[in-house]
């Protein structure tokens, strides 16, 4: 529910340093996060626990680690010593993953399935949404694989799984003149910027994802209910989709359990709002898409498809520019 004590906090839930295969030190990553005006940053080096994180004015650093195995990658947030070296070494089968994951849960960690449809490092263990708390639906600069992950997420929603989502830049380094640490950025509607409140809000589904800080932002409400809430259906139930900075020629697509239920293509850059009736159980979520031009297609080839041969030079479909979590409806 809307609460005056709450606000939106911008952050990145997936980031690497020289402690694993990142190119920057923790101090350099912090400086970049501050420059991008982030409110929180999760340090998720591969199979490595964070050392003591400093207290940084205006930036909440959150402990984490990314369990990285052939079977899949998952972030474990909120606990300093969340992963044991021996557990990592012996984690090969799906049953091993469940054992390691459950131990992290017992320590208080939040578990996120990372980029499950990535062609380079997909989720090869059993894809059971009930095994995790959160899905990284958008990984790295928006690209083709994120569309497949979004389709899988929608399937989970249609099957009744209320699965929260985040977008993670999976930051390792910059390329040439790019600034990739907050590409994309996850906004979290939380009581405060403390690690506990940020993680609690993520688990409750109070999230929306933007291409970068200050770009298109999608919020969805139904009366006083917000993203992550479940609304009791009545004869006059409606949902309002608010989009800030919807860009010219970008298309807003609203989804329910049957698929696309509303579309709008902007003729100019604007703030846009639409209220729709809700007559059936299920969910409402939304995203905006854009047609990749020549430069973006070349960037996609250089930064991403160069490692995925089957996508090299492919004609890209409309790609996601902003993406909300879901709000739910039941009788």
pLDDT in tens, 32-47: 999 999 999 999 999 9
User: Which class would CATH give 7-330?
Assistant: alpha beta
pTM over 0.75: yes
Percentage of the residues of the chain whose pLDDT score is greater than 90: 86
**What are the structural domain ranges in the chain?**
7-330
Structure tokens at 81: 């010593």
pLDDT confidence tier of residue 3, bands split at 50, 70 and 90: low
pLDDT in tens, 114-173: 999 998 899 999 999 999 999 999 999 898 999 999 999 999 999 999 999 999 999 999
Sign for the pseudo-dihedral over CA of 177, 16, 323, 213: negative
Helical H segments across the chain, by residue range: 26-35, 85-90, 94-106, 144-158, 195-203, 294-303
177: preceding bond cis by omega (within 30 degrees): no
Could you tell me which of 105, 28, 13 has the C-alpha nearest to residue 61? 13
The rounded distance, in Å, linking the Cα atoms of 146 and 36 is 23
Report yes or no: 297 and 198 within 8 Å, Cβ to Cβ. no
Query: What kind and span of H or E run contains 301?
Result: helix 294-303
């Amino acid at each position: 529910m809307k609460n005056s004590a709450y606000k939106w906090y911008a952050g990145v839930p997936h980031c690497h340093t020289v402690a694993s295969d990142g190119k920057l030190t923790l101090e350099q990553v912090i400086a970049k996060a501050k420059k991008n005006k982030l409110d929180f940053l999760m340090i998720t080096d591969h199979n490595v626990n964070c050392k003591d994180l400093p207290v940084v004015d205006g930036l909440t650093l959150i402990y984490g680690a990314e369990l990285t195995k052939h079977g899949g990658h998952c972030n474990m947030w909120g606990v300093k010593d969340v992963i044991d070296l021996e557990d990592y070494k012996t984690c090969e089968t799906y049953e091993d993953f469940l054992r390691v994951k459950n131990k992290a849960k017992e320590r208080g960690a939040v578990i996120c399935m990372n980029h499950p449809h990535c062609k380079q490092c997909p989720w090869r263990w059993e894809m059971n949404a009930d095994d995790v708390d959160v899905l990284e639906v958008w990984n790295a600069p928006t690209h083709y694989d994120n569309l497949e992950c979004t389709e899988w997420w929608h399937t989970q929603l249609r099957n009744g799984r209320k699965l929260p989502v985040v977008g993670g830049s999976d930051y390792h380094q910059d390329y040439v003149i790019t600034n990739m640490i907050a590409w994309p950025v996850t906004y979290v509607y939380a009581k405060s910027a403390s690690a506990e409140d940020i993680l609690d809000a993520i688990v409750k589904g109070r999230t929306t994802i933007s291409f970068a800080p200050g770009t298109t932002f999608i919020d969805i409400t139904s009366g006083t209910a917000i993203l992550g809430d479940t609304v009791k259906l009545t004869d006059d139930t409606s949902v309002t989709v608010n989009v800030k900075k919807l860009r010219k020629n970008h298309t807003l697509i609203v989804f329910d359990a049957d698929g696309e239920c509303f579309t709008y293509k902007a003729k100019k850059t604007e703030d846009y709002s639409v209220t729709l009736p809700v007559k059936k159980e299920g969910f409402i979520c939304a995203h905006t898409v854009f047609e990749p031009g020549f430069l973006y297609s070349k960037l996609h080839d250089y930064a991403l498809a160069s490692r995925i041969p089957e996508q090299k030079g492919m004609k890209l479909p409309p790609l996601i520019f902003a993406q909300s979590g879901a709000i739910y409806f039941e009788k």
